[in-house]
Structure 1
Amino acid sequence: MSVERGVVFDLNLPDPFTISPPNFSLCNPWKLQRYIVHRLVLGGMGGNSVEISRTAASPATTSASITETVNGKHEFKLDGYSLSKGIGIGKYVASDTFMVGGYTWAIYFYPDGKSVEDNSTYVSLFIALASEGTDVRALFELTLMDQSGKGRHKVHSHFGRALESGPYTLKYRGSMWGYKRFYRRNLLETSDYLKDDCLEVHCCVGVVGSRTDSPKTYSLPVPPSDIGQHFGQLLESGNSTDVNFEVNGENFAAHKLVLAARSPVFRAQLFGPMKDQNTHSIKVEDMEAPVFKALLHFIYYDLLPDMEELTGLSSKCASTLMSQHLLAAADRYGLERLRLICEAKLSEDITINTVATTLALAEQHHCFHLKSACLKFAAMPENLKAVMQTDGFDYLEESCPSLLTELLEYVARSTQHSVVLSKHGNGGLLCGIDVNGRRVKQRL
């Protein structure tokens, strides 16, 4: 019996001195070893048996079934509640659709109720599956917001009852979950839930899904791309630069190939048939040096620089101003991703003092989403008068007078009232434009 590396060989071999054929001598043990191995591979040595056994445990495996929800929220604001009354029992006012868990949903508000038997005594509120789906399981929550600031919201939640009844199953498109008798209408109309003829409903949907997790045999974390850092280091080092830009008295060195790869305008300026005669030194007009520096930073790093560090100012207004200039620069040099980043940032930072200038900028550079956000903000009754008192509104009136008509039309659509647009601070008189373009005056 010999044991080696976990393999047991039970060899019942004849005396090596009598093995025949072939003959082995005591002085040649290697031939004997080769002969034994050869006979093992072929399945035996004459009449003698060779038994090989291996003992090895199979590895234990694990898996887990995980059932969880993908949650999403939507806020639905119903302006003009009183005007929605009387549309008829079973008819609803719908929110915009929204996506949760791969399905499209909508909120349906029934001002006169959903059921004929209630005879408009209650308002009804439902969440509806608005996309194709079969047996979609979900949890829901509907909250009618208290607009008095007391925080006494009316909450109807399915999430807390999940252990009792399980998720709700929506069989097909158009299936709904909600309440026919959500709130008694006469109580709603005298409550803190209704303010300025407006209701606000918050909705939460949790779509149930299952997955099976098993441990990965090999898991190697891959770091994110750092190509931007490498190009940024190239810019900061100044090595091998071949073009210099003079901007408002400051000089910036860069690399032609990098600029051409990132910007179609730079590509035409540096390598196109109409390229500048001197492509080693270029003077940039109508741009501030910090803005061009931020532009170069994005071209190399593919990231926005720290605005506070760049401008030396910590105010939000300064950051907004830099984003406005950078958006114009991005449009000038055909940097679409930078333009969209600036557009998104400006959309999030709209204020009374900046909305007018941002609106003019959006119009000039064809930023339709930003323009829509500015119009919506400026048209709010609580914002409009304050916006008209800003210097930016005067600039808007001078540079883009057509936007005043659009703003008025937006206000008229959202409030269904005639609203005056522009101010000339004289005895409280406002000078504006009606929907037909005529100049009108009205005292506030």
Structure 2
Amino acid sequence: MATANPAQRTASKTVTDTIVGEHTHTIVGYSLIKGIGDGEPIASERFVVGGHEWVLLFYPDGKRSSSEGPMGNGPGGDGGGHAAVALPVAAVAGMAGRDDPLDPVGLPPPGAAPGGVAMGAPEHRAAGGGGAGGGGGGADGPHHGAGGGGGGALVAAAAPHHHQHHPAHPHGGGGGGGGGQHAALMAQLGPLHRQQRRDTTNEYAALFVALIGEGNNPQGIVSTSEGKVVRAFHRFTLVDQTGQGRDLTKGRTRDAGAVKISCARQDPNARNCHGYRKFVKRSLLEDPGKGYLVNDALVIKYTIELVVSSGGALMRGGSSARSPADLIRVPPPSLGPDLAPLLQRAEGTDVTLLVEGEEFKAHKFLLEARSRFFHSLLNNSMREGREGRAVVQDVRAPVFRALLHFVYTDTLPEGMEDANLEVEMAQHLLAAADLMQLERLRRMCERRLCECVDTESVAFTLALADKNHAEELKKVCLDYVGRNLGAVMKTEGYTHMVAACPGLQAEILATVAALGGA
């Protein structure tokens, strides 16, 4: 008896997991974007999750179906993608409804046969069926052409109290009796439809996320009958900035299944976004007691869980196969935040700096590592080096406090970041940073001052730039002065500049000459 061959046993495994990403977008100047218009978004910067590029789209005036753009057409309702919800079709004597709020009733092209479906106010639509189809449109006359026939019964059903005598247009051609009745119906339906459209205001702000591109090694792409898609769970949060935990969050739950978003960005019919037309009532958003709008700014936090699979024949060599390294989320650098408490609590300090009579405790090794100025100050043979105490000249105490915070954290204190940095403080910080050889801080101040050049401050800033090696800032100021010399010469800053930096007058004249010859 033959011996049976042993069974060949194999096994395989597919793993489905999620890549989690989070993006926070702050919108400053909310009052200035109100009234931008229905369907007009405020976009975040691009951000990458799972190798895909995404962008948040906030619609302060909402996004009704009539404003549908090429962003895609997911399922209707508040929770779907951009839903292309069309207006009802109106075919009164061959007319199709149009989405133009100034011309809500569309006329057929010359020669088109009239239809027989009534479209009017609800009570009119309920009154009977459409009239019998009339004849084709008449030949074009020199002005308005001949009216088409038919449609009389429809007018009687839709607007019986307006079925009066309608004299023919003096320049119109002859035609069926329905032509005048047709005009009467248009006179009634047009204003009615227009008024309905104008009275419909959008009470909600909308919020969506859109897939706009691919980075390196895009993950989670699945081929379906609808084309290539990615699946994800999306969560949108309007942050309560008062810290009372009243965040407003909307998102898809696990039991509802992941949302499909198309990767076919060139297809205008592809659904490449997801979000909520009715994300938040504008009255709720603007309620000062809710904490969503603080200092004319709102904060939106978006979280995505991108569904990815690995293993299996269909995944082999595919773009959705995920590297194990993608499972590891590397947090942002935290050295600055970690060192800040050392300065705030003065733990382990071994040096004291005196500025305008105020004492600042610090760590000698950190000061020396960050600045050659401090290294020289604290390592000389004089008393400063021996006793661990030093006097810092030519710097105001508030300026030095901000500078010392930068030494520890590589950032400015809260409230001084970017556009919040006042011009006067930026001027003082630039001079101090140049003195203490803090290149990054000097460049930060230089950039901020370039954004704030105006007639009153430009001469002060020009003198400052000239003395503190801020060459790019100096070029910006010279150009501004050259173009506005008459106004600048009347300022106090110009008098100061001439006294402090007399050589700048020659450079200003050279700039004026160059601009004149341009």
Class of the TM-score when normalised by the shorter of the 2 chains: 0.3 to 0.5
**Richer in strand (by share):** 1
Comparing both chains, which one has the higher relative contact order based on Cα–Cα distances under 8 Å and sequence gaps of 6 or more? 2
Rg comparison, structure with higher value: 1
